[in-house]
Amino acid sequence: MSNFAFGTYRVSDLNQQHVEALKEAIESGIKLIDTSSNYMDGGAERAIAIAMQLVDSDAKREVEIVSKFGYIQGKALVEYKTDFAQKSYSKDVVKYSEDCYHCISKEFMHEALNASLKNLEVDCLGCYLLHNPEYYILDAINKNISKDDRLDEMYKRIENAFIGLEQEVTKGRILSYGISSNSFSLLDSDDEFLPYEDLLTLALNAATIAGNEKHSFTTIELPINMLEVDGLACAAWAKKNGLRVLANRPLNARDSKKMYRLADYNESRDYYHYFNELIEFCDKDELRELYNLLEELEATKHKYEWIGSYDIFLFTQIVPHIKKSLEIFKPEELENIVNSINLYLIEYRKMVEYECSLRTRKELKGLFKESHLLMQECAINFLMKCENVDYILVGMRKPIYVHEILSLRG
């Protein structure tokens, strides 16, 4: 049966509840925490460090921290753009978007590992993963590089990274390494698929070049859930070859390029209280734009495809619109209205979650119609029965979520 691990995507050291959840998880027996250097711009790693300081030494020794490298975002991207001409790995950097670059060269890896060890306040990581190395494949496809040529280059880049990782094992800064790839979960006919059968050969070559008697490639991580099952072939290969398998995105599932949150949510009890209170306040000429926004949000709360699309819309459209509407207020007048808006937005998100879960139930009724369980329970149970999955990575950003998940172990 699979074990649960704490996934720290969207975990921040600035949120005390996240730190408390990590502490609760460690004290409740969680043995593995998965993170990455780019999660919340290093905030996830720093949150782990804080939580580790709050637990006793025995519990701390039982926990393995798995981190990743590859993404250049946030502060790291600002630093890279400022000094890219001096970076020895600049030729290997792939630009995905204006705010997301990517690199898996061993030179960049050494630099990223320094930052992760500092954030985590440790001298050694249990495991260090290449994070979605297929960003090179995406870039090569866009540049019309042939499949054979792009895969040859991909393997060269991975072997180069493995050599650097083997060197870090020798130095004692990591105990093992592996790859986390969304492309492992695709069909092998997909252009973005990352073939995995030769990875052990690359690891053996890297160990030989680094002067190590045996390789330390131990782990793969990939999305597996009730909708995305193609990755089970990769998981079976990994287990057959003595690797462990971490399954991520157990509840965030993709089907035909559409995302679903495999979870049931309750309707907010307080939403209409905050909505009516706020819209009454905004029923004046100078706040007409904000009033209209609230009316529009009320009318469209059931139209989001999934909660992730709402979160993007919130930060790219809703928040800027609200800020513009509040420019008429003096700073000392803002506190009450901002508090009211925040309370409203918290409850509005709950309503969106609820509406999305109703839609998911309807569209995926074939998966859940025979079960009396919540969708999240069905999704977790599915993975727990997958014999080739060692760890299920679950985001548990509140202490109550830790207990809800761990209660499913039976």
What is the pLDDT tens value at each position of the chain, 410 positions in all? 469 999 999 999 999 999 999 999 999 999 999 999 999 999 999 999 999 999 998 888 999 999 999 999 999 999 999 988 889 899 999 999 999 999 999 999 999 999 999 999 999 999 999 999 999 999 999 999 999 999 999 999 999 999 999 999 999 999 999 999 999 999 999 999 999 999 999 999 999 999 999 999 999 999 999 999 999 999 999 999 999 999 999 999 998 789 999 999 999 999 999 999 999 999 999 899 999 999 999 999 999 989 999 999 999 999 999 999 998 888 888 888 999 999 999 999 999 999 999 999 999 998 888 778 999 999 999 999 999 999 999 999 999 999 989 888 76
Residue 202 lies in a domain: yes
Residue 369 lies in a domain: no
Residues 245 and 275 in one domain: no
Q: What was the pLDDT predicted at 408?
A: 83
Residues 116 and 193 in one domain: yes
Residue 250 lies in a domain: yes
* Helices 147-171/199-210 angle, 10° precision: 50
Residue 368 lies in a domain: no
Residue 91 lies in a domain: yes
Residues 394 and 359 in one domain: no
The domain of 146 spans: 3-262+374-409
Residue holding tokens 């950097």? 93
Residue 102 lies in a domain: yes
- Domains in the chain, number: 2
From the CB of residue 311, how many other CB atoms can be counted at a distance below 10 Å? 14
Tokens of 67: 């981190």
Residues 58 and 186 in one domain: yes
Residues 404 and 292 in one domain: no
Residues 91 and 177 in one domain: yes
Residues 89 and 137 in one domain: yes
Residues 237 and 352 in one domain: no
Tokens of 387: 């014999």
**Phi-psi domain of 261 (left: phi exceeds 0; alpha: psi -120 through 50; beta: other):** beta
Q: What was the pLDDT predicted at 148?
A: 95
Contact by Cβ (8 Å): 209, 201: no
Residue 257 lies in a domain: yes
Q: What was the pLDDT predicted at 371?
A: 78
AA letter at 179: I
What's this model's pTM, rounded to 2 decimal places?
0.91
Residues 82 and 396: their CA atoms lie apart, in Å, by: 36
Tell me, what CATH number does 236's domain have?
3.20.20.100
Residues 357 and 380 in one domain: no
Residues 222 and 297 in one domain: no
Residue 319 lies in a domain: yes
Residues 136 and 164 in one domain: yes
Residues 176 and 208 in one domain: yes
Show Cβ contacts of residue 32 under 8 Å, excluding neighbours closer than 6 positions: 3, 5, 6, 63, 64, 65, 66, 126, 246, 391
